[in-house]
Amino acid sequence: MTTNSKRTARGRTLIAAAASITAAVSTALAGCASPVLDDAPGPSGVVVGAGAGTDGELLAHLYAGALRRTGIDVTVRDPGDRAGALAALDSAEVTLVPGYTGRLLRYFEPAAPQTDAEDVFTALGRALPTDLTVADYATAQDRAVLVLSDATSTALGVTDIDAIAGRCAELTVAATAAFTESGGLDALASVGCVPAAVEQVGDAEAVRAARGRGALGALTTASPALVGADVVALADAPDRSPGEGETGEDTRAPVFPAQNVVPLFRRDVFGERQLDALSMIAGELTTADLAGMLGRVDAGEDSAAVADEWLGEHV
């Protein structure tokens, strides 16, 4: 399966060392192990915590469904919000909480400066308590993004964040809660973008403000409001590819912190089959997939059913 090969090639799973040790011991005992031992059951009583919002619920059902497909019993619990979910994870009331790399890093290390996807992931691993770990992150992310109408982009002569920084004083920023939570406003301030005004709005209104009155729409990339929207997304510096080494002085890091989907879970709970299931999501889930599913849930579909349909198409 391409997902498993990707997991091996990327080599970014923080529990990889433990998994390698387990594999080595299994190999050494293979000559005397019984078929029953070779097919050892996975963990029991796994609880996936759903964070706040539609995305927290959807991601919880995605990871729960993937884990169930390994033959274990999994339930989804709603601890109320992200802080409640992480507190439940810390107290072992839940086993796994899905989240986004940048927001989790900001939770555990509020002053962390990293923005590149690999740097954020590495910093997150270092910031976690010793009893927690993460598996590979997905390409799917909910990263801050700025959008303009085509007319405004042309009039200002801007197509990227570097160019807009010097023109912010001319613009009103229509920002969503997710944009603010993902560190978007702080990131803009760090590059000297001080807008004429900041309005807190919903996703659809942010797009309408950009299209209808020349505002700078400030959303996140998995917002369903951006699907098919006639707006120009301002380019940010790209994340470096895995294996390129840490972002240095000669490599400009993105302005907005990476926000890749990632599972955070209690260490030493899952076996190889469960880790492969987590890696399947890392290898298959895209931002377009996430935005599309969120749009369906927002339109009234059941999040568990939407997640199960996606899993049926990708597992």
**Whether the Cβ atoms of residue 240 and residue 118 lie closer than 8 Å to each other:** yes
CB atoms within 10 A of CB 38: 10
Per the DSSP assignment, residues forming a β-bridge with 233 are: 147
- pLDDT, residue 240, reads 87
* Tokens at 98, concatenated: 């899905």
* Cα(313)–Cα(308) distance, integer angstroms: 9
Per the DSSP assignment, residues forming a β-bridge with 235 are: 160
Per DSSP (E only), the strands in the chain are 46-49, 74-77, 96-100, 132-134, 144-148, 172-175, 197-200, 216-220, 232-233, 261-266
* Cα(196)–Cα(105) distance, integer angstroms: 30
* Cα(242)–Cα(65) distance, integer angstroms: 28
CB atoms within 10 A of CB 235: 15
- pLDDT, residue 49, reads 95
Return per-residue pLDDT of the chain as tens, 315 residues. Answer: 444 444 444 544 454 444 443 444 344 434 444 333 334 556 778 999 998 889 999 999 999 999 999 999 999 998 878 888 999 999 999 999 999 999 999 999 999 999 999 999 999 999 999 999 999 999 999 999 999 999 999 999 999 999 998 899 999 999 999 999 999 999 999 999 999 999 999 999 999 999 999 999 999 999 999 999 999 999 999 998 776 655 555 578 999 999 999 999 999 999 999 999 999 999 999 999 999 999 999 999 999 999 999 999 998
